[in-house]
């Protein structure tokens, strides 16, 4: 019988980083799935809200606040906010759309 040296062999455990990465990837995959589902409905929502592209419309733009670029670089998913705002520009393709840009006096 071999002598007990105090060392026991155990199965290697996955690194904590690998587990955390897998959880993050799973969450990211779920977020992407939800986004795709929401995106599917946008086409129908747009046409329900704007059935006649020649009808007069008014778009009121009220900027909320401006963030420092360093802070923005730390925000995950900031590109989605940018894309959302760019979609508003598509409304300008409708010929009878009036845009009002509200700016607070300093």
Q: What's the pLDDT tens digit per position in 5-26?
A: 555 555 555 555 556 666 667 8
Does 105 or 58 have the greater pLDDT score?
58
CA 32 → CA 17, 24, 37, 74, 92, distances in Å? 22, 12, 9, 19, 29
Domain ranges of the chain: 14-49, 52-106
Instruction: Report pLDDT for 48.
Output: 85
Torsion of CA 73, 79, 84, 85, to 10 degrees: 50
pLDDT in tens, 44-80: 888 888 889 899 988 887 766 667 778 878 877 777 7
Instruction: Report pLDDT for 33.
Output: 92
Predicted TM-score (pTM) of this structure: 0.40
Instruction: Report pLDDT for 92.
Output: 77
């Amino acid at each position: 019988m071999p002598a007990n040296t105090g060392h026991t062999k155990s199965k290697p455990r996955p690194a904590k980083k690998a587990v955390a990465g897998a959880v993050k990837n799973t969450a990211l995959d779920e977020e992407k799935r939800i986004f795709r589902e929401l995106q599917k409905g946008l086409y129908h929502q747009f046409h329900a809200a704007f059935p006649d592209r020649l009808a007069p419309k008014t778009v009121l733009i009220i900027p909320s606040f401006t963030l420092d670029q360093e802070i923005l670089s730390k925000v995950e998913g900031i590109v989605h906010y940018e894309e959302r705002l760019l979609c508003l520009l598509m409304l300008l393709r409708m010929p009878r759309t009036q845009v009002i840009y509200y700016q607070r006096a300093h």
